[in-house]
Amino acid sequence: MPGDFKRIPCPQETFQPQLYCKSSTKKQLLQENGKRADNRSLDEIRPIFLKAGVVSQARGSAYIEACNTKVICAVYGPHEVQRREGFSMQGSLRCEFKYATFSCPGRRQHQTDSEEKQMGLVIAQALQPAICLHKFPKSQLDIFVTVLQNDGSAFAAALTCASVAVADAGIEMYDVVIGCSLRQAGETTSVLDPTITEDFYSRSVDGDASNHGSVTAAYLPSLNQLSAIQQTGEIEPEVAAKCLQKCIEGSVRIFPVVSQCLIKATKRKAQKSQQTAKKDDV
Amino acid sequence: MAGIELLSDQGFRVDGRRPHELRKIQCRMGVFRQADGSAYIEQGNTRALATVYGPHEASGGRVRAQHDRVTINCQYSMATFSTGERKKRPMGDRKSQEMSQNLQRTFEAAIMTQLYPRSQIDIYVQVLQADGGNYCACVNAATLAIIDAGIPMRDYVCACSAGFVSDTPLVDISYLEESLGGPDMIVALLPKSEQIALFQLNSRLHADHLSKVLDMATKGCKDIHTVLDGAVRDHVSEVTDSMARS
Amino acid sequence: MAASTICIPGQRLGSTEEFQAGKGTYTRQGYVYSSLAGFRHESKQGEDLPELQVLLEDQQTVVPEVGSVVTVKMTSVNPRFCRCAILSVEGTPLTQSFRGMIRREDIRATEKDKVEVYKSYRPGDVVLARILSLGDAQWYLLSTAENELGVVLAQSEAGVNMVPISWCEMVCPKTHSKEFRKVARVQPQYLIQPAGT
Amino acid sequence: MATYIRPARKRKCSKTIQEPKRLVTPGDVITSDTDFMRGHGTYMEEDKLHASVAGVVETVNKLICVKPLKTRYNGEVGDVVIGRITEVGQKRWKVDTNSRLNSALMLSAVNLPGGELRRRSAEDELLMREYLAEGDLISAEVQSVFSDGALSIHTRSLKYGKLGQGVLVTVSPSLIKRRKTHFHNLTCGASIILGNNGYVWISPMAGAEEEEGGGFIQNLEPVLLSDREVMTRLKNCIVGLAEYRMMLYDTSILYTYEASLKYTLEELLKPELMEEVVEDTRRRLEQET
Amino acid sequence: MAKVQLSLGEKTFIIHGVQDGLRTDGRSCDAFRPMELECGVVSNTSGSSRLRLSNTEILVGVKAEMGKPRPTRPNEGYLEFFIDLSANASPEFEGRGGEELATEIANTLTLTYDLKNVLDYQALCVLPQQCCWVVYVDVVVLECGGNLFDAIGIAVKAALYNTRIPKVKVQVDSEGQEEIEVSDDPHDVVLLDTCNMPVLVTVSKIGQQHVVDATLEEEACCLACIVMAVNAKGALVGMEKKGSSSLTMDSIQDMITTGKKVGMNLNSNLSSVLQEIGRDASSSGFLS
């Protein structure tokens, strides 16, 4: 609830205690055996649990879990555009992206901040080329994404989750959208699907900071195109192109999960309607 | 008053002006191409920019349109870096909303509103650098912008501030003179007919002095009118000449 | 139905040389793709190529389309037109209503100039109508200029559902007062019986 | 060069120009003689005629008016205008014509496919968006002026109608010189329409017009590169003329085009070269008069 | 963004023109419109600049103020970006109309400047955990004629080049209390090193080709674009895809190559112009 902070007797500014911890050991991206902290290899993605149709009130919904990164998404609509705008033969998309207040290491505010607004915009833009918007003129589709727990790559997970939720809503789509993140550490090392400790923080890079950064891409597997690219950090253009290629490879590996999930959800729906049909007969 | 003498014994103000002297005014019309009218004005270190869009179809459809006259829509904003201490937001605070309303009233008095039923005129002013007399600079800039847009007005609207220090009225007061307390009067005047379109007085002033200060402000407005009129005439001559030679 | 026939959006279903694209599919560069997560259907009619469809029985997203028959509830009436809320499209209920408008000249097919809106519809009436066009930014344009279209449910001033007695009149069973309405000759396929009646 | 940045130039101090006679600014008294008729840009107060805009006083017989340097378009019946559809209504299109209110194009004021004498049916009302949709450009003629100042326009002549491929340039309406015709096929190889409302349309030279479909079907074939170069140069010339406040008509445009030929298209974007081209044109025009 | 509506014919003409490598104003696909830049326009700021790119006009004012360092980085100062899409630029931006786009631009700038290499942030710190310089970079968009991102990127870099931050001395008095003394000598100042600061380059995909520095009309024909932040070395310090369409890997690669080339060119041209203008330029601004 957006609180009236003036009346709540709590300090105006608080900091997480971790800031004041003196980390004695320097964090190493890779262990000595070349594996990552959670024993994954460089280009290994975390196992994914994906389920569609988890919010019964919504027209479509999905939940994704990749180890500790958990995102839930619900889709409502298409309904009439509320704001008075010009006539449009195409439907419009609106996406609200929110980190739950408890989802990140530090507490987040209830109000959507500018980062979250931006994320919402990017998700809407990433889904737009995948959705047959001309099928619902003058109407609007609302997508609500909430990150329940953020352990890195939450944005990529949100992209995948949102696209599954839209498909689950029975909205006609040209393609599904799959998100994948990557952290580049030096010219040659890149870590796919980074956890929050592996993720890129510009100031934490020691020495030469060139070619350190992170890349997130949204991939449309059937069209073989990218619908979103977000890059931070300093990366050579040639390396950046390679990063995108690796993100695509990662997405291709996620695709079977998405496809299985949608097939299962469709089966479930069919069974359900058969059951209700039987009940009606009785 | 904190150590600074606003008026020296010789009768000079902090910036070397005499009480009845205006700051240097420089202005330019037609700064932008896309707007219907635009103007920029410098009054000493106070700089303001005004743009005018319209008259055009009233936004918000028939509901907001007035069937017998034009709707005048004003927005006053200040660049966040314009003041000594950085402002958090360029507009939306109470002061700038009040300023917007004042502007609207001022120009409703001067523009021949009945000529454009169902239309709307947008007047946007922005203070780029604030050094006292912000509202006045905005009114003057907006007047120029409206003339640039070719919108009929009864007369110029010229605004000028005046203060009162040690029994002497000061015209066109700067930020320093404004901030050290004392009365602060703003007058927007239609100079030819000497009609006052806006009158505002902050802080206290003995009623006996009112007419003295008002006279000073009125005179300031007329002086500003002379400067602005000169600028407009130059601009019009130049453009007419260019159009005539083609 | 075999599980192998479930498709997901973006899945390639076949070439356009073999199939026609039907509902729930689209074509791109010579192939038919699925645009829904649903079951694959092939149907052949005559000499044409078999039509490919991807369907999902229970859940169809519907928005009002030109030509579809919709159920609306009147919200306001004035001498030139009446406004209404579109509640369902082709029998599929909508979660949120869309706004529509029926102009005076679209109320009935004959003697258009003699139509009086007040004698045709009243706020609260449930009416069957056909979508004429997408209209402007705010309103869908509807028409009831067919025998099958018009009022299906209307309450009298006494608050009782009225019974039609002709194509333009209804009568209240309680007070026996007559009221004017543009009554629909309701066809069975559009009739959804409320539970308990 | 891909990019070109330079320090801002100082504007040239314009030579002192003699103020034209009878220049007035708002509030000035034009005359206290009551024999005159009050025209645009003036108002009566205390039996005196005052100016309400800045400009030069024009007297036609007994009518006194002041024309401002630039305004929104004030329509007159018979003017050629170019407009953009902003809204599709039930029996009319709303058209932006740079005037103070949107203009109306009635369904009955257009030529629909299938001949001039065709009766307009209810179906046409539903198909209006098929003919002209939001964003489409049309050339039209002012048919009448409503009491509130809004214009009613029509396209009931073969020379008017929906515009196809080309570029629109918007200038101040006062820069358009009133001429017998506002449609020109320039010898340099492009056609232009100088709308009285300040909208200028540049299009490839009209070839054999296919008059089927009443002008609602657009030719979307790529324009030849040579034609495109001419159109682009014309566009830059018109923008330049407007920038330096020269009147626009076929001769001035053509002369500017010829003067500009010594520079490449990209060079013309530099303000100082454009200024030179415009000054050349001005000199040539002055010599001829 | 201030949008223009175009008819199908106009769009087709623009798209085919880009295909032929001749845009409607005579430029080739990888050319910028001429720009005019001046520094030191607003005298009560620490640094300012004004950029005019055809019809796009940007005014940037930088104000350095004392603040508290962020808890996450106790010994660094920081930059704060604010964009004001003023109603002067377009009536659409009146009230809160421009807010969404403004945050979008500010976010992009924050991301690209928030890197270790860009600026020596530690030099902006006065007293760790207690006091640092907060450099407010305030951008006002006065007129909008397309390509806002790039124009703002250039203007911001120029304003930071023009910025003068007073030198600060920290003295410890007898009781061990630290005292901060700010020099009021206008020549005793710290200048910012701008050579690693990026510029933004927007590469817009129109039809099958891509262009830089799109005009408003071209932006209306563009379905997808990539905004890149490119530094003087040609490395990307931030990249974002915008727009409603998707892109193939091939075209992304081409667009990145163009972006790098144009970005490096912009950086080198900008730095030579800035040197020409000089660090302590002041100019008359709008009167010229």
Output the domain CATH number for residue C46.
2.40.50.100
Helix (H) or strand (E) holding B186: strand B184-190
Residue range of the domain that includes C10: 6-55
Distance (Å) of CA E134 to CA A95, E77, E123:
33, 6, 12
| Residue C165: per-residue pLDDT | 87
| Residue D52: per-residue pLDDT | 94
Whether the upstream peptide bond of residue D222 has omega within 30° of 0, thus cis, is no
D23 or D19, which is more confident: D23
Same domain, C94 and C29: no
Distance (Å) of CA D134 to CA A211, D82, E112, E245:
47, 14, 39, 22
| Residue C197: per-residue pLDDT | 40
Set of chain D residues whose Cβ sits within 8 Å of the Cβ of B229: 25
Q: Give the integer Cα–Cα distance in Å for E158 and E166.
A: 18
The chains in contact with chain D, meaning 3 or more Cβ pairs closer than 8 Å, are A, B, C, E
| Phi, psi at A166, each rounded to 5° | -65, -45
Name beta bridge partners: D194. Answer: D200
Set of chain D residues whose Cβ sits within 8 Å of the Cβ of C103: 90
Task: Give the best residue of E3, E4, E10, E201 to mutate against chain D (max D CB count within 10 A).
Answer: E10
Q: Is A225's Cβ below 8 Å from some Cβ in E?
A: yes
Chains E and D touch (3+ CB pairs under 8 A): yes
- Across the interface, whether the CB atoms of C56 and A176 are under 8 A apart is answered no
**How distant is the alpha carbon of residue D45 from its chain centre?**
34
Q: Is B66's Cβ below 8 Å from some Cβ in D?
A: no
**Pairing between β-strand E131-143 and β-strand E78-85 as defined by DSSP bridges:** parallel
A217 or A104, which is more confident: A217
Same domain, C24 and C116: no
How much is the pTM? 0.91
Set of chain D residues whose Cβ sits within 8 Å of the Cβ of E29: none
pLDDT higher than threshold 60 for residue D214? no
| Residue A216: per-residue pLDDT | 95
Same domain, C101 and C173: yes
Q: How far is D76 from chain A (nearest CA, A)?
A: 30
Set of chain C residues whose Cβ sits within 8 Å of the Cβ of D87: 136
Q: Give the integer Cα–Cα distance in Å for B109 and B156.
A: 11
Same domain, C101 and C171: yes
Q: How many domains does chain C have?
A: 2
Sign of the dihedral defined by the CA atoms of residues A104, A109, A112, A115, in that order: negative
Q: How far is B40 from chain E (nearest CA, A)?
A: 7
**How distant is the alpha carbon of residue C60 from its chain centre?**
14
What is the rounded average pLDDT of the residues A48-58?
93
Same domain, C83 and C21: no
Q: How far is A174 from chain D (nearest CA, A)?
A: 26
> Per-residue pLDDT tens for E65-91?
999 998 888 888 999 999 999 998 888
> Per-residue pLDDT tens for E226-248?
999 999 999 999 999 999 899 99
Q: Is residue C1 part of a domain?
A: no
Same domain, C174 and C125: yes
Same domain, C75 and C145: yes
Set of chain A residues whose Cβ sits within 8 Å of the Cβ of E241: 125, 226-230
Q: Is D265's Cβ below 8 Å from some Cβ in E?
A: yes
Helix (H) or strand (E) holding D128: helix D128-131
Same domain, C124 and C152: yes
Indicate which CATH number applies to the domain containing C82: 2.40.50.140
Nearest alpha-carbon partner for E36 in D228, C179, D7, B108: D7
Q: Is residue C127 part of a domain?
A: yes
Task: Give the best residue of D86, D88, D90 to mutate against chain C (max C CB count within 10 A).
Answer: D90
| Residue A206: per-residue pLDDT | 66
Q: Is E265's Cβ below 8 Å from some Cβ in D?
A: yes
Q: Is E134's Cβ below 8 Å from some Cβ in D?
A: no
What D211-217 contacts at long range (C-beta under 8 Å, 24+ apart), as own/partner pairs, is: D211/D158, D212/D113, D213/D113, D214/D111, D214/D112, D214/D113, D214/D114, D214/D161, D215/D111, D215/D158, D215/D161, D215/D162, D216/D113, D216/D130, D216/D131, D216/D132, D216/D161, D216/D162
User: How many residue pairs from chains B and E have C-beta atoms closer than 8 A?
Assistant: 94
- Looking at chain E from residue 110 to 149, which residues have their Cβ under 8 Å from any Cβ of chain A? 111, 114-117
**Residue A163, both tokens:** 């696209």
Set of chain C residues whose Cβ sits within 8 Å of the Cβ of D126: 132-133, 141
pLDDT higher than threshold 90 for residue E218? yes
When pLDDT is cut at 50, 70 and 90, the band that residue A106 belongs to is confident
Which residues in chain B come in under a pLDDT of 50? 1-2
User: Do D23 and D3 meet the contact criterion of CB atoms below 8 Å apart?
Assistant: no
CA dihedral C97, C103, C106, C110 (to 10 degrees): 140
Whether the upstream peptide bond of residue D173 has omega within 30° of 0, thus cis, is no
Q: Is E100's Cβ below 8 Å from some Cβ in D?
A: no
What is the rounded average pLDDT of the residues D220-246?
90
Listed in sequence order, the residues at least 6 apart from D188 whose beta carbon sits closer than 8 Å to its beta carbon are D230, D233, D234, D254, D257, D258
Set of chain B residues whose Cβ sits within 8 Å of the Cβ of D25: 147, 156, 229, 232-233, 236
pLDDT higher than threshold 70 for residue A205? no
Listed in sequence order, the residues at least 6 apart from C165 whose beta carbon sits closer than 8 Å to its beta carbon are C171, C178
User: Do D260 and D232 meet the contact criterion of CB atoms below 8 Å apart?
Assistant: no
Q: Give the integer Cα–Cα distance in Å for E243 and C60.
A: 29
Q: How far is D90 from chain A (nearest CA, A)?
A: 13
Q: Which stretches of chain D sit within 8 Å of chain C by CB? A: 87-90, 122, 126, 129
Of the candidates E6, E24, E36, the beta carbon closest to that of D232 is on: E24
Average pLDDT across chain A, whole number: 87
Which residues in chain C come in under a pLDDT of 50? 1-3, 194-197
Same domain, C50 and C80: no
Q: Is D220's Cβ below 8 Å from some Cβ in E?
A: yes
Same domain, C76 and C143: yes
Q: How far is D133 from chain A (nearest CA, A)?
A: 10
Same domain, C108 and C77: yes
Set of chain B residues whose Cβ sits within 8 Å of the Cβ of E59: 79, 128
Same domain, C12 and C48: yes
User: Do D42 and D68 meet the contact criterion of CB atoms below 8 Å apart?
Assistant: no
Helix (H) or strand (E) holding A154: helix A154-168
- Please tell me which residue of chain A has the smallest CA distance to C4: A263
Set of chain C residues whose Cβ sits within 8 Å of the Cβ of A273: 57-58
Listed in sequence order, the residues at least 6 apart from B88 whose beta carbon sits closer than 8 Å to its beta carbon are B80
DSSP summary character for residue D209: -
- Across the interface, whether the CB atoms of E38 and D7 are under 8 A apart is answered yes
Q: Is residue C178 part of a domain?
A: yes
- Across the interface, whether the CB atoms of B42 and E55 are under 8 A apart is answered no
| Residue A88: per-residue pLDDT | 76
| 3-class SS of residue B60 | coil
User: Do D156 and D111 meet the contact criterion of CB atoms below 8 Å apart?
Assistant: yes
Q: How far is A195 from chain D (nearest CA, A)?
A: 41
**Pairing between β-strand C92-103 and β-strand C140-143 as defined by DSSP bridges:** parallel
Q: Give the integer Cα–Cα distance in Å for A193 and A45.
A: 5
What is the rounded average pLDDT of the residues D130-134?
87
When pLDDT is cut at 50, 70 and 90, the band that residue A257 belongs to is very high
> Per-residue pLDDT tens for E150-195?
999 999 999 999 999 998 888 887 787 888 888 888 788 889 999 9
Q: Is E242's Cβ below 8 Å from some Cβ in A?
A: yes
* Strand ranges inside chain D, DSSP E: 5-7, 23-24, 29-31, 37-38, 42-45, 48-51, 55-60, 63-68, 80-88, 92-96, 103-106, 137-145, 151-154, 161-162, 167-170, 183-186, 190-194, 199-204
Residue-wise burial string across E55-82, b where 16 or more C-beta atoms lie within 10 A, e elsewhere: bbbbbbbbbbeebebeeebbebbbbebb
| Residue A162: per-residue pLDDT | 96
Q: Is residue C62 part of a domain?
A: no
Q: Is residue C60 part of a domain?
A: no
What's the burial of E8, exposed, middle or buried (CB within 10 Å: 0-12/13-18/19+)? middle
Q: How far is D89 from chain C (nearest CA, A)?
A: 7
Q: How far is A57 from chain C (nearest CA, A)?
A: 11
What is the rounded average pLDDT of the residues A215-235?
94
| Residue D210: per-residue pLDDT | 46
Domains delineated in chain A: 40-253 (3.30.230.70)
Helix (H) or strand (E) holding C98: strand C92-103
Q: Is residue C99 part of a domain?
A: yes
Three-state SS string across A182-205, please? EEEECCCEEEECCCCCCCCCHHHC
Q: Is D48's Cβ below 8 Å from some Cβ in B?
A: no
* Residue in the block written with tokens 């034209």: D20
User: Do E69 and B88 meet the contact criterion of CB atoms below 8 Å apart?
Assistant: no
DSSP summary character for residue E169: E
**How distant is the alpha carbon of residue E246 from its chain centre?**
26
Q: Is residue C104 part of a domain?
A: yes
Share of chain E above pLDDT 70, in %: 98
Q: Is residue C195 part of a domain?
A: no
| Residue D207: per-residue pLDDT | 58
User: Do E41 and E50 meet the contact criterion of CB atoms below 8 Å apart?
Assistant: yes
Nearest alpha-carbon partner for B78 in B56, B49, B39: B49
E50 or E188, which is more confident: E50
What is the rounded average pLDDT of the residues D85-107?
90
Listed in sequence order, the residues at least 6 apart from B233 whose beta carbon sits closer than 8 Å to its beta carbon are D19, D23, D25, D54
When pLDDT is cut at 50, 70 and 90, the band that residue D47 belongs to is confident
Q: How far is B129 from chain E (nearest CA, A)?
A: 7
pLDDT higher than threshold 90 for residue D224? no
Q: How far is B53 from chain D (nearest CA, A)?
A: 10
Q: Give the integer Cα–Cα distance in Å for B22 and B44.
A: 9
D221 or D41, which is more confident: D41
- Looking at chain B from residue 210 to 229, which residues have their Cβ under 8 Å from any Cβ of chain D? 229
- Across the interface, whether the CB atoms of D175 and B243 are under 8 A apart is answered yes
User: Do C131 and C66 meet the contact criterion of CB atoms below 8 Å apart?
Assistant: yes
